[in-house]
Amino acid sequence: MLQQTRVETVLPYYARFLARFPDVGSLARAEIDEVLGLWTGLGYYSRARNLHRAARVVVERHAGSLPDDATSLRALPGIGPYTAGAVASIAFDRPEPIVDGNVARVLSRLHGLREDIAAASSRKRLWEEAAALADGPEPGALNQALMELGATVCTPRAPRCAACPITRDCDAHRAGDAESLPYKPRRTRVREVDAVAALVLRRGRALAVRRPDTGLLAGMWELPGGDVAAGEPADDAIARTLAERVGLRLADSRALGSVEHGFTHIALRLHVFHCRVAAGRVRLRGPTAHRWLAPQELRALPQGGPTRKALDLALPAAT
């Protein structure tokens, strides 16, 4: 839960998640929709899917006990080198390295690494340096100390070099360029995307569709719609996307406004409509499932931020 998410945001989700799933067996037995429902609002939903899959693997292949070596941990869904190293060293005292953002900053400054921190050669060097440090007594304590040093002393801005226990060995401190490291080139420009979504009503029921199991917001539920083509009016786009993606023809529609949502690489503007559709059967092309629900029941489905914002705009229009 803490990957890409702040501690204060995670805490209430963590408490609710553990109350419902106190052990790996209860998580493995759960349906994915329930897991996603408890995760709704945290974003990066592939984390929840991987956690659920990993729990099932632990039950099926490891008799419900988490493996204690990094190689077996890395074989679990969603667990990469960092998580495997952290669990193996901290929980099982294995001499395994970890490199997260804090550790990468400490090591890049300590060793004067002035190349792109994301380059393969840089990542290789950082893991080698971290492995050398972990190959000694109390690797878990050492790894936690490196993370804490980066979080509290060797900070991204205004590092507290005077309070650092390894200042005299630090290349960046000697060179006077600690704050410029680690070196990161400019991020790729965020892409702006316009899309449409509709609260589609038929005989008092609202249509919800489920996204594909891969890609952005995989497996989450949303209002039907799709991307707006270049130069296409939103009114035309909602009629087109409903016909293409769910096989329904509009009887009437009303624009309700738009909401905005930011992803790491996408700035989304979602135009929201209130629609009624002509008689006909739903024929999905893209979504993997659909449901007709009372409008207020839509909020109970696992859904991403854009859909929550769209419902805030659309549900008052359904009354």
Say if residue 318's pLDDT is above 80: no
Residue 183's pLDDT band (boundaries 50, 70, 90)? very high
Tens-place pLDDT, residues 105-161:
999 999 999 999 999 999 999 999 999 999 999 999 999 999 999 999 999 999 999
Residue 279's pLDDT band (boundaries 50, 70, 90)? confident
Tens-place pLDDT, residues 6-44:
999 999 999 999 999 999 999 999 999 999 999 998 988
Say if residue 172's pLDDT is above 90: yes
Pairing of strands 266-277, 191-202: parallel
Say if residue 319's pLDDT is above 70: no
Long-range contacts: 170-178, Cβ < 8 Å, 24+? Answer: 170/109, 170/110, 171/109, 171/110, 171/111, 171/112, 172/108, 172/109, 172/110, 172/112, 173/109, 175/112, 178/109, 178/154
In the chain, domain spans: 7-180, 191-318
Dihedral, CA of residue 43, residue 299, residue 9 and residue 266, to nearest 10 = 30
Number of C-beta neighbours around residue 313 at 10 A:
18
Closest CA to 62 of 75, 46, 50, 51: 75
Separation of alpha carbons 280 and 263, rounded Å: 35
Separation of alpha carbons 309 and 129, rounded Å: 45
Rounded percentage of the chain residues whose pLDDT exceeds 70? 99
Say if residue 187's pLDDT is above 80: no
Residue 185's pLDDT band (boundaries 50, 70, 90)? confident
Residue 88's pLDDT band (boundaries 50, 70, 90)? very high
Residue 147 is predicted with a pLDDT of 96
Tens-place pLDDT, residues 227-268:
999 999 999 999 999 999 999 999 899 999 999 999 888 999
Separation of alpha carbons 95 and 99, rounded Å: 14
Residue 190 is predicted with a pLDDT of 87
Summary mean pLDDT of the chain: 94
Q: CA geometry: angle at 191 spanning 51 and 271, to 5°?
A: 85
DSSP character at residue 149: H
**CATH architecture, domain 7-180:** Orthogonal Bundle (1.10)
Dihedral, CA of residue 247, residue 252, residue 256 and residue 261, to nearest 10 = 10
**CATH architecture, domain 191-318:** Alpha-Beta Complex (3.90)
Query: 0.95 cut: is pTM over it?
Result: no
